[in-house]
Amino acid sequence: MILVHRLRGEPLYVNSDLIESVEASPDTVLTLVDGRRIFVEEPPATVVDRFVGFRASLLVAADELKGQGPTLSVVPEPDHCSTCDQEG
């Protein structure tokens, strides 16, 4: 999510994955993938910089998580099931 401000100054967090385009006409307009349009105070370059910064922070966080906590591994199935030979 990135922080932008509506034209009247209200802060708004936008899911940057839903932004289809950013244009200046003359106000900055964010067009979302569902067709909704949001008019914001920030110039297009600022919106793009925030998007890039947000994406970079995700990559850094993912890299930091690699070295933490338990790792998942695949446990191989045994070649033979001891209970499979028992008749019930």
List the chain domain ranges: 2-66
Average pLDDT over residues 53-76: 79
* 22-59 pLDDT per residue, tens: 999 899 999 999 999 999 999 999 999 999 999 999 88
Burial state string for 24-54 with b = 16 or more CB within 10 A and e = fewer than 16: eeeebebeeeeeeeeebebebeebeebbeee
**Tokens found for residue 54:** 């947000």
pTM of full prediction above 0.75: no
